[in-house]
Amino acid sequence: MARIIAGVTSSHVPAIGAAIDNHRESEPYWQRVFRGFERSKEWMAKAKPDVCIVIYNDHASAFSVEMIPTFALGTAAEFPIADEGWGPRPVPPVKGHPQLAAHIAQSVILDEFDLTLCNKMEVDHGLTVPLNLMFGTPKEWPCPVIPLAVNVVMYPPPTGHRCFMLGNAIKKAVESYPEDLKVVIFGTGGMSHQISGQRAGLINSKFDHAFLDNLTKNPQKLARMPHMEYMREAGAEGVEMVMWLIMRGALDDKVDEVYRFYTVPASNTAVGHIILENRVKGAKKPAAKPAGKGKKPAPKLKRAAARAKVDRIRS
């Protein structure tokens, strides 16, 4: 049986891709961003997923105002890199997993989610930048990728609740696939940012941190958040974070937050990143040894246990 082992969220700022392509990662401005993903790449190398599902939004590369699917699932064997105006990014083409993608399409559509199926589709920085941040710059991506493009560009975008429930349906679909596959699902975009208008440059770190907290512990609260709250608190483009709820809906109710990173700004955007792992079914935590009657655990031991439980990076 296939299973989703973890979810990853990442901003997909195009300037991050440009910094990678032009070998500027070590420059002072970019160092803090790329250092924040060093441990993420180590985690991904250990996780070794067989397939990644990447939730992202297209930036007028595969789609345009002439055709705007709300949810578009890539079912092709390969997805070329889009030319976004200055030539395709120098990254490998994305290999798909048509068999699992077709299975997800059938299961999700029969669960009454209307998907657009794309047997031919170019992918842009919305998908390739998060792959770079998690896998580095390999000659070939280490596993197949199933793209799921979500409309968060033209009104009306899907609600957070609809996205969360789609994640539930994807979880059900993956778990009914007979082949033994480890799957990691990405939610991309965000965090708070606005690229035009009177509030151009807006960043709301308080909102972003609260969103990350709730993503781990109370995603149902986020699923109830209306579009206007995203726009008011996180800027016009902050609505991209509904795509993170697809990722979260595809995980178990209770997850372990194993890593978090946040920094501002990258270009004009707050960069947020989190890794959530599903708990291994049937695994039991070892019983704590008694500290002795009337004695409390030593402060150093308590601090060590807290650090072992979760590793958070905030900058």
Report whether 247 contacts 6 (CB < 8 A): no
206 in helix, strand or coil? helix
Mean pLDDT, the chain, rounded, equals: 91
Closest CA to 81 of 23, 40, 126, 29: 126
Closest CA to 51 of 102, 121, 120: 102
Instruction: Give me 173's structure tokens.
Output: 């679909």
Report whether 62 contacts 123 (CB < 8 A): yes
Amino acid at the residue 204? N
Determine which one of 12, 103, 125, 273 is catalytic: 125
Signed CA dihedral, 85, 149, 102, 128: sign only = positive
- Residue 160 β-bridge partners: none
Amino acid at the residue 263? T
Check whether 305 has a pLDDT greater than 50.
no
Specify the DSSP element, H or E, that contains 209.
Answer: helix 205-217
- Residue 118 β-bridge partners: 74
Q: Which residues of 25-40 are buried (b: 16+ CB within 10 A; e: fewer)?
A: eeeeebeebbebbeeb
Amino acid at the residue 289? K
pTM of the model: 0.89
The radius of gyration of the chain from alpha carbons, rounded to an integer in Å, stands at 20
Question: What pLDDT digit, counting tens, does each position of 235-294 carry?
Answer: 999 999 999 999 999 999 999 999 999 999 999 999 999 999 999 876 555 444 444 444
Q: Report pLDDT for 301.
A: 44
Catalytic annotation on 227? Answer: no
Rounded Cα distance, 11 and 96, in Å: 22
Q: Report pLDDT for 310.
A: 46
Question: What pLDDT digit, counting tens, does each position of 183-240 carry?
Answer: 999 999 999 999 999 999 999 999 999 999 999 999 999 999 999 999 999 999 999 9
Question: What pLDDT digit, counting tens, does each position of 85-123 carry?
Answer: 989 999 999 999 999 999 999 999 999 999 999 999 999
Determine which one of 12, 97, 103, 193 is catalytic: 193
Rounded Cα distance, 290 and 288, in Å: 6
Catalytic annotation on 125? Answer: yes
Check whether 303 has a pLDDT greater than 90.
no
Q: Report pLDDT for 315.
A: 46
- Residue 52 β-bridge partners: 145, 184
Instruction: Give me 293's structure tokens.
Output: 């009657």
Biggest CA-to-CA distance, the chain: 72
Q: Report pLDDT for 306.
A: 47
Q: Report pLDDT for 140.
A: 97
For 246, list phi and psi in degrees, rounded to 5. Answer: -65, -45
